[in-house]
Amino acid sequence: MAAPNIVSVTSIYGKTRGQPLTTGPAVGVLTCASDKVLKVNSIIVSNIDTLAAAGCTVKFYDSSTATEYSLATSVSVPAQSTLVVIGKDSPIYLEESDEVRAGAQANSDLEVVVSFEELDDA
C-alpha cells in the first residue's frame, strides 16, 4: 500500500510518544502504519540520571530499502540534560513501515519523546 498524498489529507492528528531506552541495538520507538504518513516534528532524548552522562543512538529506518540511517550516533547526553535530535525546523517524514529507532549505552538513564503528526487521506 502507498502513503497518502499529503496535499489531500482529510485528517491531521498531533501525537506524542515516549519510552525509556535500553542498551543493545536501537529498537523501534515509532512505526508508521499502513496508509498513513507521519511527520516527525521533534525527537528529544532526556538523561534522568543525576550524576552520569549517557550515550544515545537514534536512527531512521527506511523500510523500502531495509536500511538504517543515523540521526545521532553515540551522542553523550549530560546528567539531567536533554538532547534535541530533531526539532520543528528540520522534520522528517515516515512512510508505511518506516521507523524511528533508538538505543542507549546505559539502562534506565535515558528516555525519548517523539512529537509527530499523523496524516491520513481516508
Q: 16-52: per-residue pLDDT in tens? A: 999 999 998 889 999 999 889 999 999 999 999 999 9
Q: How confident is the model at residue 6 (pLDDT cuts 50, 70, 90)?
A: confident
CA–centroid distance for 22 within its chain: 15
Whether 8 has a pLDDT exceeding 90, the answer reads no
- In degrees, rounded to 5, the angle at the alpha carbon of residue 36 between the alpha carbons of residues 104 and 94 is 35
Map out the domains of the chain with their CATH numbers: 27-120 (2.60.290)
CB 68 within 8 A of CB 100: no
Q: Are 56 and 66 within 8 A, CB to CB?
A: no
| Average pLDDT over all residues of the chain | 94
- The position carrying cell 496508509 is 35
pLDDT value at position 3?
Answer: 66
State the average pLDDT over residues 55-76: 97
Residue 83 half-sphere exposure toward CB, CA atoms < 13 A: 24
